Amino acid sequence: MTVATRKRGRSDGSVKPHARLQAIAPRTHARGVTADATALASLGDLDRQPNGEEKQKLEQELEKLQAELLGFQYRALMPAAVDGGKTHKPNDQLAGFVGDVLRDAIKAQQLSLASVQAVLSNYVSQQKVSPIVTPIRLGKDPAARRATLQALKEVKLAEGKQFLAERSRGMDLTKLFAEEERFETDDGGFCAMRFDITPLPGVKSVREIFDTLFYFIFNVEISISETLGVLTIREDDESGDKSIAHHRLLATNDHGVQVEFSTVHFSDFNEYESNGDLGSGMIVADFVDCDDLHPYRPAERLRNDISAVLQITPERRKKAHTGLNGGGNDDEEVVITVTRWLRSNLHRPQIDLSPEFLAEMPDRVGHWAKEMLNALIEKRNAINAARAVMQMNAAM
């Protein structure tokens, strides 16, 4: 059977397929079935621009025809699989057709995925609100400031845990993964976002890694001095709780530009909530939205907002086997994993900056996240090296 191709006559007596629709609909030949783009000309006079209702109708008709085309392709594939209850190998011509259909399907899937990624990237770049959504607003009274942070601790930890669970849903937490985005914001600032999963083979203690991260974050001025500037001044609000810390940092870089940070860190270590009772740790950092006692100074300094969620957990995975005989179902090992989401947002400058500094700004944003990862890797290497020395001494 052949699908008839309808052509519309013109005043000069010639016949021409509709060019616009011919570019949209593909032509496919399968076992005597021909779907030609010119068949869409039956939708009517389309030389003029369609209105909204007509456009919607045309899109529906196009979807219908594309679905029919897919059906033709599927039916063409069926004889290659089953004929009278017997399985046959497809001939070369049909095998080529099958390959073309599969390649078209894979290509369409990849293009759809690229389209979704573009939408997500555009959405992310327009988001001005941290996913750790509860704002931090501090007054002038020291006791009230401490009470505010105490009240926010459980809220922030719960928000961080929920967000990280959704961000890592369905992912294998025993495999290395990293994803980073950097972009200019709508208001002229720069933002860096990173999500990564870092398994640390050889490390046996969740607490050791938690303490390493705790030390790094609670001494963050060291890494900021190394990555953003040559001098960092730190001021803290004493909360009376070691699991809560408010750091105000002022970094002056080699261009003489001052960058200010105001970040609150909340931490928690649970001794028993994990695989094998090895414990699990979480650290949530978020910037202060408003501080009446220490207000931001946009006319004098650049403001850098930091948000982060870090979780340290023991995860089970199958042991790797190099021999022919694999292990059983119980042949597993525990690997300590650090899962992180970090966001660094450098606000639009309201002060005069040199062209050299402006050119460096995108690269400077988010460097501290890499320094943190380097600290973790160094700690893992130190632990493994110490263990190797102990094993060597025990064998002597």
- Identify the CA nearest to 183 among candidates 230, 237, 144, 128: 128
Please indicate whether residue 96 or residue 42 has the higher confidence score (pLDDT). Answer: 96
- Examine the pLDDT at 383 and tell me if it is beyond 50: yes
Query: What is the b/e burial string over 384-396, where b = at least 16 CB atoms within 10 angstroms of the residue's CB?
Result: eeeeeeeeeeeee
Tell me what the mean pLDDT of segment 53-65 comes to. Answer: 76
Residue 325 banded pLDDT, cuts 50, 70, 90: low
More confident residue, 101 or 336: 336
- Summarize the confidence of residues 110-128 as an average pLDDT: 74
pLDDT value of position 287: 94
Give the integer Cα–Cα distance in Å for 144 and 11.
84
Contact at 8 Å (CB) between 271 and 117? no
Place of tokens 């500094």: 357
Q: Quick one: which H or E segment has residue 234?
A: strand 231-237
- CATH 3.30.530.20 maps onto the chain at 137-318+330-395
Question: Element (H or E) spanning 171, and its range?
Answer: none
The whole-number pLDDT of residue 282 equals: 95
Mean residue pLDDT across the chain: 75
Q: Taken in order 24, 30, 34, 40, is the CA torsion positive or negative?
A: negative
Amino acid, res. 171: M
The H or E element spanning position 198 is strand 190-200
Burial 184-218 (b: 16+ CB within 10 A, else e): ebeeebbbbbbbbbbbbeebeebbbbbebbbebbe
Q: What is the pLDDT of residue 33?
A: 40
Q: What is the average pLDDT across 103-111?
A: 80
Residue 91 has pLDDT above 70, yes or no: no
Tens digits of per-residue pLDDT, 271-311?
A: 876 666 688 999 999 999 999 999 999 999 999 899 999 99
Report pLDDT for 372: 75
**Of 65 and 89, which is predicted with more confidence?**
65
The number of residues making up the chain comes to: 396
- Averaged pLDDT for residues 384-395: 70
Token couple for 33? 């079935």
- Say which CATH class 137-318+330-395 falls into: alpha beta
Q: Is the pLDDT confidence value at 35 over 60?
A: no
**Residue 130 DSSP class:** -
Determine contact, residues 282/327, Cβ cutoff 8 Å.
Answer: no
pLDDT for 216:
81
Instruction: Please tell me the distance from the alpha carbon of residue 21 to that of residue 17, in angstroms, as a whole number.
Output: 9
Identify the pLDDT of residue 73.
63
- Over residues 172-189, the pLDDT tens digits come to 999 999 998 888 888 888
